[in-house]
Copies of this chain bind each other. A is one copy, B any other.
Amino acid sequence: MLPLHSHPSGRHFLQIPGPTNVPDRVLRAIDNPTIDHRGPEFGELGKAVLAGMKKVFKTESDVIIYPASGTGSWEAALVNTMSPGDKVLMAETGHFATLWKKVAERLKLRVEFQEGDWRHGADPEQIGKRLAADTGHEIKAVCVVHNETATGVVSDVAAVRKAIDDANHPALLMVDTISSLASIDYRHDEWGVDVTVAGSQKGLMLPAGLSFNAISAKALKASETAALLRSYWDWKEMLAINPSGYFPYTPATNLLYGLYEALQMLFAEGLENVFARHKRHGEATRRAVHAWGLEILCRKPEEYSPALTAVMMPEGHSADAFRKTVLTHFNMSLGQGLSKVSDKIFRIGHLGDFNDLTLCGTLSGVEMGLSKAGVPHKPGGVQAALDYLSQTCKAYPS
């Protein structure tokens, strides 16, 4: 038997900011027998998930699905569009922006990293200035993380686009939506994004194992001359065969079953309702955090993440010790602080397949954990969330 059952009873609360709680419908879909990936049924499946993902990205152009973790789609975005030694401008919003930078560096790109304090989103003004100064158009791409999973800070992608346009700069705009897609409003076409990077295990409510690129015509054109070597991540072969619903190499069929089901669920709820749900849960969470007298890592209210909330530990207290208390006493996994903020923050995931009562359970686990771990705080966080949620709740349409 799998070593998955160390907790004695009840459902585990998986409240890291992804992988998220996979709904039963999606797990059951994944559990269907594998079919011939070159047979007629598969083509229908392939076409359906590719079409569905376009709706999720809000794009009319192409979407690529990789059998890979989200990390692979960072690499895919770069190797399809860049050449060795190309300069890219990246914004240091947190750990994941830093990891993406590391990928770029390993691919021998020259990265200009706009420093950040991990408490703010990418700064469109600063980006605009840098591009305006780049009169030789040495910078080939601007890379931004939409929702920084490590900090709970959302960057304003439309504003970054505007900054690029205002600078009349031809750089491609690449955006990581790994922890925002299907949780936070995102518009690949309207915002003029050239490559959007995404993964399956957050708002798409799947296990990890699929990742995505959404591609603009401009990015596609760039790929024709991009000299970085690529094979697995190459868009060209994918795009050649995808219109028929097939893939150039063996796809992760069972995860595609899950994707099909997840898309049905998202469209049944309605993407705008999904976004509103996440915003409301983010607000409820922050009200709890404020009531506890704790500080939210994200500095600016307009950059608060609807997908997760990173909370700062009071000076002298270990976030990891607190998380361990919560895990061992209350059967809940919270996200840890990564790298620069290791042991200094914990992260509450409130994204994916989620609802009011599960959020209340989650916040209860945090509040009781704070007490149990002896972390100074005021009670009343859960109460604050309850007040807000009950004031703003709506009946489900029947």
Interface of A with B (CB < 8 Å)?
1-14, 16, 18-25, 27-41, 44-45, 48, 66-72, 75, 84, 102-103, 106-108, 199, 201, 207-209, 228-232, 234, 249-255, 257, 260-261, 265, 268-269, 273-274, 277, 325, 327-333, 336, 353-358, 360-362, 364-365, 367-368, 371-372, 379-380, 382-383, 386-387, 389-390, 393-396, 398
Contact = CB atoms under 8 A, between A and B. Distances in A.
B9 A11 contact: no
Contacts of A390: 367-368, 371-372
A68 B265 CA distance: 26
One complex includes copies of this chain to the number of: 4
Contact of A32 (B2, B356, B380): B2
B12 A33 contact: yes
7 contacts: A2-B32, A9-B277, A11-B353, A329-B356, A330-B393, A357-B362, A361-B364
A26 to B, nearest CB: 10
B273 A8 contact: yes
A69 B247 CA distance: 11
A24 B32 contact: yes
Contacts of A265: 5, 9
B229 A107 contact: yes
A229 B331 contact: no
B14 A208 contact: no
A209 B252 contact: yes
B361 A8 contact: no
Given A12-B35, A21-B33, 8 more contacts: A1-B1, A3-B41, A4-B257, A6-B398, A8-B273, A14-B34, A71-B232, A382-B386
Contacts of A228: 229
Given A40-B6, A358-B10, A398 B328 contact: yes
Contacts of A393: 329-330, 368, 372
Nearest to A20: B34
A340 to B, nearest CB: 17
Nearest to A278: B9
A208 B106 contact: no
A328 B35 CA distance: 15
A1 to B, nearest CB: 5
A61 to B, nearest CB: 24
Contact of A68 (B20, B232, B368): B232
Given A234-B106, A361-B360, A34 B382 contact: no
Given A250-B71, A355-B331, A368-B356, A106 B2 contact: no
B3 A44 contact: yes
Contacts of A273: 8
A332 to B, nearest CB: 6
A215 B91 CA distance: 37
Among A12, A44, A84, A231, max chain B CB count under 10 A is at A231
Contacts of A360: 360-361, 364-365, 368, 382
Contacts of A356: 10, 329-331, 364-365, 368
Contact of A67 (B3, B68, B254): B68
Contact of A396 (B7, B30, B199, B361): B7
Given A355-B331, A357-B332, A386-B382, A207 B254 contact: yes
A9 B102 CA distance: 36
Chain B CB within 10 Å, residue with most, of A13, A23, A208, A327: A208
Contact of A4 (B8, B10, B41, B325): B41
B368 A364 contact: no
Contacts of A4: 32-33, 35, 41, 45, 257
Nearest to A11: B358
